[in-house]
Amino acid sequence: MELKRRIALAAALVAVGLGAGHIVQKRDAEERLAAAEPELAVDPASIQPLAAEADPPALSPEAAPALPAAPILAAPEPAAPVVESAEACPVTLDLGARENAMLGLTLAAPCHADERVVVKHGGLAVTGQLSATGTLFLDLPAMTAEGVVDVIFPDGTLADAAQPMPEVAMLRRVAVQWLDRDRFQLHAFENGADYGQPGHVSAATPQTPAPGFAAKAGYLTRIGDDTVRLPMLAEIYTFPASGPAEIAIEAAVSPETCGRELLGETVASLGGKVATSELTLAMPDCAALGDILVLKNPVPEMKLAGR
């Protein structure tokens, strides 16, 4: 028992010694750290507040750094308008005399491709359609000895030319012309012919013109392009050099013409002199579809008749 008591006492003394040693070592370390740090003693009364300056110190012009000048931007010049000159867009109209007192028209206008034009000559006014390359070829029955032709473009451009046709003085021609739906038909009856008989001349049987001016039979020519907007068309009958011929102008009662007034014009060329006259015809209502109104002997006097 004595031996056990001595061992326990020795263990207790060892534990106390170790704890005391740890405390001594910790205090030693704190004293060494305090000795290493400098002592700062600050008297609060010695602290002087700094006064804030209201404005920063101004820099003299010499001291101020020079900034690069902003570039001056010039206003862009307006683009010059593109003007199509006559040299760049030429319009040429050529006429030639052909058999049976016909005017051969050749129009070249490359800047007016596919356009609708109005061709005027001797009281006639019909439409034409330029090709994709701006060309037009047309044969016109001459109505005056001067042979003046005008071509009018949609923008107002005008081309004109003349081809003297003195032989017109030996001819007799009569025409009927109309606009769009106001359709008329020209019929001629030579040497007492009736409808459908030899000598009945119309768009269905126009007859082939014989060469020269002593032909015994007349012929009919239809001009104008009816595929364009607001087509202007005409039918022209050339009388035979000898023998009687009667003229009639017809208008059919159709869904396009019934119940309204048709407007047209007649043009007569006798001995190279041209006379024009307005043509007005009141159509019956649509109950009369299929009927035909006939104007007989429009030159020099028109009379209304029915068939």
Instruction: Please give the average pLDDT of every successive group of 10 residues along the chain, which has 307 residues.
Output: 46 42 45 47 50 49 53 54 61 95 96 97 98 97 97 96 94 95 94 93 91 76 96 95 88 95 95 91 94 84 40
For residue 216, the model assigns a pLDDT of: 73
* Torsion sign across C-alpha atoms 196, 143, 105, 134: negative
For residue 26, the model assigns a pLDDT of: 47
For residue 271, the model assigns a pLDDT of: 85
For residue 214, the model assigns a pLDDT of: 59
Tokens coding 282: 């009141």
For residue 221, the model assigns a pLDDT of: 96
Question: Of the candidates 194, 161, 226, 163, which has an alpha carbon nearest to the alpha carbon of residue 296?
Answer: 194
Question: Of the candidates 297, 298, 247, 268, which has an alpha carbon nearest to the alpha carbon of residue 168?
Answer: 268
- CA–CA distance, 182 with 278 (Å, rounded to integer): 13
For residue 274, the model assigns a pLDDT of: 94
For residue 73, the model assigns a pLDDT of: 54
Burial class (CB in 10 A: 0-12, 13-18, 19+), 307: exposed
Helix (H, G, I), strand (E, B) or coil at 29: helix
Q: Are the C-beta atoms of 283 and 253 separated by less than 8 Å?
A: yes
For residue 84, the model assigns a pLDDT of: 47
Burial class (CB in 10 A: 0-12, 13-18, 19+), 218: buried
User: pTM for the complete prediction?
Assistant: 0.70
For residue 302, the model assigns a pLDDT of: 38
* Torsion sign across C-alpha atoms 216, 218, 275, 293: positive
Count the Cβ atoms, other than its own, within 10 Å of residue 159: 18
For residue 208, the model assigns a pLDDT of: 85
Q: In this structure, which amino acid lies at residue 281?
A: L
Tokens coding 289: 């579809």
For residue 17, the model assigns a pLDDT of: 43
For residue 140, the model assigns a pLDDT of: 96
- State the DSSP string of 70-139: PPPPPPPPPPPPP---TTTS--EEEEEEETTTEEEEEEE-GGGTT-EEEEEETTEEEEEE--TTSEEEEE
Residue with tokens 């804030």: 52
